[in-house]
Amino acid sequence: MAGVIVIGAGLAGLASAVRLAKLGHSVTICERDERLGGVLGRIEADGFQWDAGAASTTLPAALRDLFRKSGRPIESLVQLEPVVDSRRHMFADGSVLDLPLNDRGTQHEAWTDLAGAQLARQWTELVDSYADTWQLLRTTSLEPPLEGELPFNHRLPLSTVRALKPWQSLEKVAQRSLSDERARAVLRHFAAQGDSDATLTPGYVGVWSYLERTFGRWTIPGGFGAIADALVQRASERKITVRTNAEVVAVATQSGAVTGVRLADGEELAADIVVSDIDPRELYGRLVNDSAAKKVRKRALATHQAQAAYVVHLGLQEPLPALPFETVLHGTPTVVVRTGGQAPAGHQAWSVLVHGYPTDDVLDLLVARGLHIRDKVVSRQVSPSWWAGVAWEGYRTARRRAANVSPVKGLYCVGAGAHPGSGVPATTLGAAIVADAIGKA
């Protein structure tokens, strides 16, 4: 049995902890805040409730695997349900596209109705082409067996790199493959979801269009924050020690291997393994002082944080415009409206996400895009900012993102700043990679 300390109790930290506890390790979570779950939280005010961060996910198998590998199926705690609404796209020219999330044929029909058969064919063929991209990423980067302690996700086979064409940006893919600016805007949105610029994001990131179409999007009745609650309950079932208000200020090492951590109050905790779910720039730049981390420290400090969406939660009085689960208002900046919050009778709870630096008030942005709801607002709350991972700054960013297996023996990285990236599916998959790397006690 190894003594494991997990730094940070976001989704990836909790996922790593419960997996490792199920494998027989003695696990302690150190979280500097009072609450667990990171951005998988809730905002509650005036009788309304909103998801603070994520409200849905694709690749539901990643969550199902997490709960199955840590104890019981996810359905024993929460119910994943498909988002049946199409995602609405509203464009600057006034046109509207209701794009189904999980059906090839109806997506084709939607594009045909909006822009004609040629564009529908272009979109369908582009999304089809990402099937090969997904198989490459899945088999070479997400599911391969680890070899020793190598940070394997930085060592893709040359044949895979050539097939992925990482030097080709998502913007270039959009310009080459799609003849309508509205379709290009929809493809660019997969960069905006990761808080990155499409001109600096590799084209293979468009694989999310294929994953959504293949696996759909899934949510949880009552709010996605229930995932955090379920993982906290699973941590209790697995006898994990949870320490809140416990900020880690140093990872202790000796001869290139971790020996424990030191807390802000001076307490030292011994450990054989440390799993970090914090910003790798903070981990390697401030917490780890070991010569084995010299190269990875340089790479981590060369990255920049992705700009998290600015999120405002609105409690609104009906009647209101009828919107689906998610509406994308294209323009500068891109604005996303989610309607899945909980509200008193006769009201609705909307969350408004602004991607980019907002220079106008959120209500002004909504009114300018045709949603005149200013006089309907009865509650307004703002989500706290969060660590949004690494911004794409060209395809070489992938090599600077923290590997799951550190060159410091016994140190592992998960979360938005580590491989394979940000978002619920990616961070959950990263936790699975680390659990497989550490193995059974």
CATH code for the part of the protein at 310-382:
3.30.70
pLDDT tens, position by position, 355-380: 876 678 999 999 999 999 999 999 99
**CATH code matching the domain that covers 3-40+62-78+224-305+389-438, chosen among 3.40.50.720, 3.20.20.70, 3.50.50.60, 3.40.50.360:** 3.50.50.60
Question: Mean pLDDT over residues 86-95, rounded?
Answer: 96
152 pLDDT band (50/70/90 cuts)? very low
pTM, two decimals, is 0.94
Question: Mean pLDDT over residues 27-52, rounded?
Answer: 94
- Residue 431: partners with Cβ closer than 8 Å, 6 or more residues away: 12, 15, 16, 19, 66, 414
pLDDT tens, position by position, 294-350: 999 999 999 988 877 889 999 999 999 999 999 999 998 899 999 999 999 999 999
Question: Mean pLDDT over residues 116-137, rounded?
Answer: 96
The architecture of the domain spanning 101-215 is: Orthogonal Bundle (1.10)
CA distances from 297 to 274, 281, 439 (A): 17, 7, 26
Domain positions in the chain = 3-40+62-78+224-305+389-438, 101-215, 310-382
- Residue 150: partners with Cβ closer than 8 Å, 6 or more residues away: 405
Ramachandran angles phi, psi of 184, nearest 5°: -60, -40
Q: What is the pLDDT of residue 56?
A: 95
